[in-house]
């Protein structure tokens, strides 16, 4: 059984002005997401600025989210690392805390061979004994998971169940589903490719867009699953200008700006990320208005 079907939000990590995690705001946006129809919470992923969280902050945010959500929808914890031992430790802790699944990005900077990636993922999954979603985003990590590697992991390790695909390469996605015999839990990692990936057997999206438009992102998947392909596609295409604005600078710079424009007060970004440029923010605000999102 899949960890979730539909739209999971790759949720931001709200910060206070002194750059500490703002747990009061995190609680608020978790409630907003659940009320808005989001199908799962993905905490401490790239959008959550995981790269600048200490291990203690990382685990505290995961535990807080699991406790606050309290089984109302699944919680998937981002516990990947380029250090296998660190990923093993954090994944085991997240599993013990009650995470419904783990999102494990490919090792970045030191990367690894395909054989090394197989060993890396098997070691983490076997230690955590919790459903794992692999995360392939070579534009950020410099490391690509080959379709054959994904298929081997999913077929041979009972805990490795799915893949968040953010390569942008639809042919690669097709190869994955072919080699997995269509049995992988496939999630789009790109908001502009939800419908194409669903058409290849995907079951959802792990979404940045959901931070500002949870219902609409949920509906793109829901309409498709109910057989309303035309309605799903229309909503996907309607969202494209907003999606482009949300990725006009490095994620999560624009989405945090968007939430602050909505009055959500999610605070600043930790360096080396910087605040959004005014020209880009103006375009973002305009696309949000066109999409029907109310600004503060």
pLDDT 10s digits, 227-247: 999 999 999 999 999 999 999
Question: CA 13, CA 268: separation in Å to the nearest integer?
Answer: 10
Instruction: Give the pLDDT of residue 182.
Output: 83
3-class SS letters over 200-243:
CCCCEEEECHHHCCHHHHHHHHHHHHCCCHHHHHHHHHHHHHHH
* Separation in Å, CA 142 to CA 102, 107, 112, 220, 249: 21, 9, 10, 30, 19
- The phi and psi torsions of 196 (rounded to 5 degrees) equal -55, -40
Report the catalytic residues.
Answer: 135, 164
How much is the pLDDT for 183?
Answer: 87
Q: Which pLDDT tens digits describe the chain residue by residue (296 residues)?
A: 899 999 999 999 999 999 999 999 999 999 999 999 999 999 999 999 999 999 999 999 999 999 999 999 999 999 999 999 999 999 999 999 999 999 999 999 999 999 999 999 999 999 999 999 999 999 999 999 999 999 999 999 999 999 999 999 999 999 999 999 988 999 999 999 999 999 999 999 999 999 999 999 999 999 999 999 999 999 999 999 999 999 999 999 999 999 999 999 999 999 999 999 999 999 999 999 999 999 99
């Amino acid at each position: 059984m899949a960890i979730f079907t539909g739209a999971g939000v790759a949720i931001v990590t709200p910060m206070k002005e002194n750059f500490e995690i703002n747990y009061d705001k995190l609680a608020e946006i978790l409630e907003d997401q659940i009320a808005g129809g989001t199908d799962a919470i993905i905490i401490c992923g790239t959008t959550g600025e995981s790269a600048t969280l200490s291990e203690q902050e990382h685990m505290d945010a995961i535990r807080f989210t699991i406790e606050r959500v309290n089984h109302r929808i699944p919680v998937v914890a981002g516990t990947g690392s380029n250090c296998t031992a660190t990923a093993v430790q954090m994944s085991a802790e997240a599993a013990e805390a009650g995470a419904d699944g783990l999102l494990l990005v490919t090792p970045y900077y030191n990367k690894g061979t395909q054989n090394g990636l197989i060993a890396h993922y098997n070691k983490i999954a076997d230690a955590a004994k919790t459903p794992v979603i692999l995360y392939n985003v070579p534009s950020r990590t410099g490391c690509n998971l080959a379709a054959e590697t994904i298929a081997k992991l999913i077929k041979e390790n009972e805990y490795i169940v799915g893949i968040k695909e953010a390569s942008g390469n639809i042919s690669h996605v097709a190869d994955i589903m072919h080699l997995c015999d269509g049995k992988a839990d496939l999630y789009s990692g790109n908001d502009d490719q939800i419908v194409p990936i669903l058409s290849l057997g995907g079951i959802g999206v792990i979404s940045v867009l959901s931070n500002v438009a949870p219902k609409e992102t949920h509906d793109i998947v829901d309409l498709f699953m109910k057989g309303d392909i035309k309605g799903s596609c229309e909503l996907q295409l309607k969202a494209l200008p907003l999606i482009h604005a949300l990725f006009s600078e490095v994620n999560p710079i624009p989405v945090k700006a968007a939430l602050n424009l909505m009055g959500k007060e999610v605070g600043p970004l930790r360096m080396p990320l910087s605040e959004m440029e005014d020209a880009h923010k103006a375009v973002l605000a305009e696309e949000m208005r066109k999409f029907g999102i109310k600004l503060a």
